[in-house]
Chains A and B, each alone.
Chain A
Amino acid sequence: MSKARLMQGNEACAEGAIAAGVRFFAGYPITPSTEIAETMAKLLPQYGGKFIQMEDEIGSMGAILGASLAGLKSMDATSGPGFSLKQELIGYAACAEIPCVLVNVQRVGPSTGQPTAPSQADVMQVRWGTHGDHPMIALAPWSVRETYDATVMAVNYSERFRTPVILLMDEIIGHLREKVELPDSVEVYERRKPKKTRAEGYEPYEPDEDLVPNVADFGKGYHIHVTGLLHDATGFPVGSPKVTEESIRRLHEKIARAGDEIIHTEEYFMEDAEYAVVAFGGTARTAYEAVRNAREAGKKVGLLRLMTIWPFADKVIEQLAAKVKGILVAELNYGQVVHEVRRAAQGKCLVELCGKYNMKSFEPKEIEAAIDEMCARRDA
């Protein structure tokens, strides 16, 4: 019998988290991410893990950071206003280098916005939402099956780099049910461990060769200190320009050094393409259909899908811009990724926005029309 089953994107996220070894989830109900918390509440105790519904969005973020420090892989999921409320502690996780995954199932904003309607307008908030300087990893799945994989990947990256990772979903994928077949097992990155004893001079924030520190879990006898103040290798705050500069640089470089390895993109219909559509998440599926229709009509158009949103796929876009006459960025917002594409394209080709922000997801014909308009303008 086939193991294929109908599954919702939010459920696939929870299943992926369990497979990746997440054993602690704290959350607060918010549409359209709630099914992730509901599924975790059901699954976690079956695996000996723990679920807690906290009193608010900030509390749930705090709880996962505490649980992560005490040794459990931890996750939280939210949407819209909840994501805004968690910003301070996302920054804390970045500064104190605490592995955790935060899922943001995007809905229409600003403010309470349109809770049940799809949007992709949190792209820039994901990158720049907290105060201060730190890098961010954000992954945007485009199918229920990929939501499972992306969640595993997010957990693995959070552990490997000891950093918060955002799973940037949208309502389209979060609430979509489709056929999936889940793997029997997945590759899991185990929590980093100290390489020295206290007697050998262990320092919790001493960077390893990959610039990531091997911070001990609580309760292992290391007596570590964790703080959101900028600190040196000992973990203790130091009010010096040198330590501050080194800390902030290392936070960036530990991710930058991984480089292309964590930047996942996919190309469709790109051979001999003269124009390209760039899209991500649920919108990329509609863009795929639009591009396929355009191809059938004899137009030389391809699709570049971004799965990793942050760090941004600068090199991929630069190469694409050198190859095509124009890039159309289709996104469910007033224009966010388009600015990054324009920056990365460095003026090598025309870059235009196909934006939408009226509660409705794209229809293929809308993107097809935008492709036609761009081609006409460029060729005129």
Chain B
Amino acid sequence: MRKQLRLSGSGGQGVITAAIIFAEAAVAEGKEAAQSQSYGPEARGGASKAEVIIDDAPIYHPHVEQPDIVLAMTQKAADKYYTDLKPDGLLVLDTDLVPEPPDFPNVIRIPITKLAVEQVGKSLFANIVALGAIAHLTGLVNFETVKESVAHRVPPHTVEQNMKALQTGWDAAAKK
């Protein structure tokens, strides 16, 4: 049951952190996981891409060949990273930051960053909102496990807000 995920956006949006948390949750459930990323020299802005492979069997080639899911949190990332999606794959877009969705049969638009601002108070939590949505859409790991992984990874004083962000993303995806 190999699943290949690609989370993309611009530097500073936290897609790499989201990918790490997702991979950690999979490992916590005893699955194999390989997480990698590519990024430019910029700490903020620039293109940022994180990949996660989840499998029951050992993972050799550690990079995504054909993603099952692509998350894009900017227009540039959407245009660049959806092209090799599996034909029956899923493209998840931030509604407001990707105003022109690529021409792909299976697209889900969620106002990820807007939800982070309105429901949690800061755009900073957009990556965790996205993680909640991805967790729901993939069904690869239990929601409780993802919650634990988030709580383990984020600064202690932000756990509550991050839990809210995660739930917000999960719920938004459930409505789709």
Q: Which residues on A are within 8 Å of B, measured CB to CB?
A: 2, 4-6, 115-117, 172, 175-179, 282, 285-286, 288-289, 292, 361, 363-365
Q: Which residues on B are within 8 Å of A, measured CB to CB?
A: 20, 23-24, 27, 30-41, 59-63, 65
Which residues of B are found within 8 Å of A288, using beta-carbon distances?
A: 60-61
A282-B62, A288-B60 known; A116+B39 contact, CB < 8 A: yes
Q: How far is the CB of B75 from chain A (nearest CB, A)?
A: 23
Q: Which 9 pairs from chain A and chain B are nearest by CB?
A: A177-B35, A289-B61, A288-B60, A285-B60, A286-B61, A289-B60, A6-B24, A179-B27, A178-B34
A4-B27, A6-B23 known; A178+B60 contact, CB < 8 A: no
Query: In the complex, A5 Cα to B27 Cα: how many Å?
Result: 6
Q: How far is the CB of B43 from chain A (nearest CB, A)?
A: 12
Q: How far is the CB of B126 from chain A (nearest CB, A)?
A: 22
Query: In the complex, A98 Cα to B35 Cα: how many Å?
Result: 37
A176 touches B61 (CB 8 A): no
| Closest Cβ neighbor of B63 among chain A residues | A361
Interface centre among A175, A177, A361, A364 (most CB of B within 10 A): A177
Query: In the complex, A176 Cα to B36 Cα: how many Å?
Result: 5
A364 touches B23 (CB 8 A): no
- Pick the residue among B30, B41, B63 that contacts A2 (CB under 8 A): B30
Q: How far is the CB of B49 from chain A (nearest CB, A)?
A: 11
Query: In the complex, A178 Cα to B27 Cα: how many Å?
Result: 8
22 A-B residue pairings within 8 Å (CB atoms): A2-B30, A4-B27, A5-B24, A5-B27, A6-B33, A6-B35, A115-B41, A116-B40, A176-B34, A176-B36, A176-B62, A177-B35, A178-B23, A178-B33, A178-B62, A285-B60, A288-B60, A289-B60, A292-B60, A361-B63, A363-B65, A364-B61
A2-B30, A177-B35, A178-B33 known; A172+B24 contact, CB < 8 A: no
A6-B24, A178-B33, A178-B35 known; A172+B40 contact, CB < 8 A: no
Which residues of B are found within 8 Å of A364, using beta-carbon distances?
A: 61, 65
A177 touches B59 (CB 8 A): no
Query: In the complex, A177 Cα to B37 Cα: how many Å?
Result: 10
Query: In the complex, A6 Cα to B149 Cα: how many Å?
Result: 11
Query: In the complex, A117 Cα to B39 Cα: how many Å?
Result: 9
| Closest Cβ neighbor of A115 among chain B residues | B41
Query: In the complex, A376 Cα to B36 Cα: how many Å?
Result: 35
B62 touches A4 (CB 8 A): no
Query: In the complex, A285 Cα to B34 Cα: how many Å?
Result: 12
| Closest Cβ neighbor of B35 among chain A residues | A177
Which residues of B are found within 8 Å of A117, using beta-carbon distances?
A: 38
**Contacts A6-B33, A116-B41, A365-B65 known; 11 new A-B pairs at CB < 8 A:** A4-B27, A116-B39, A176-B36, A177-B23, A177-B36, A178-B33, A179-B27, A179-B33, A282-B62, A286-B61, A288-B60
Query: In the complex, A289 Cα to B31 Cα: how many Å?
Result: 19
Query: In the complex, A365 Cα to B65 Cα: how many Å?
Result: 10
Which residues of A are found within 8 Å of B39, using beta-carbon distances?
A: 116
A285 touches B62 (CB 8 A): yes
Which residues of B are found within 8 Å of A178, using beta-carbon distances?
A: 23, 32-35, 59, 62
| Closest Cβ neighbor of A4 among chain B residues | B27
Q: How far is the CB of A109 from chain B (nearest CB, A)?
A: 16
Which residues of B are found within 8 Å of A5, using beta-carbon distances?
A: 24, 27
Query: In the complex, A252 Cα to B146 Cα: how many Å?
Result: 53
Query: In the complex, A285 Cα to B61 Cα: how many Å?
Result: 5
Q: How far is the CB of A35 from chain B (nearest CB, A)?
A: 12
Q: How far is the CB of B84 from chain A (nearest CB, A)?
A: 11
Which residues of B are found within 8 Å of A172, using beta-carbon distances?
A: 36, 62
Query: In the complex, A176 Cα to B16 Cα: how many Å?
Result: 12
A177 touches B61 (CB 8 A): no
Query: In the complex, A33 Cα to B130 Cα: how many Å?
Result: 29
Which residues of A are found within 8 Å of B65, using beta-carbon distances?
A: 363-365
Q: How far is the CB of B150 from chain A (nearest CB, A)?
A: 14
Which residues of A are found within 8 Å of B24, using beta-carbon distances?
A: 5-6
Interface centre among A117, A175, A179, A289 (most CB of B within 10 A): A179
Query: In the complex, A2 Cα to B32 Cα: how many Å?
Result: 13
Query: In the complex, A115 Cα to B41 Cα: how many Å?
Result: 8
A175 touches B60 (CB 8 A): no
Query: In the complex, A179 Cα to B39 Cα: how many Å?
Result: 22
Which residues of B are found within 8 Å of A282, using beta-carbon distances?
A: 62
Q: How far is the CB of B162 from chain A (nearest CB, A)?
A: 18
Query: In the complex, A178 Cα to B31 Cα: how many Å?
Result: 10
Query: In the complex, A363 Cα to B65 Cα: how many Å?
Result: 7
Query: In the complex, A292 Cα to B59 Cα: how many Å?
Result: 12
Which residues of B are found within 8 Å of A361, using beta-carbon distances?
A: 63
- Pick the residue among B30, B38, B41, B61 that contacts A363 (CB under 8 A): B61
Which residues of A are found within 8 Å of B23, using beta-carbon distances?
A: 6, 177-178
Which residues of B are found within 8 Å of A175, using beta-carbon distances?
A: 36-37
Q: How far is the CB of A114 from chain B (nearest CB, A)?
A: 10
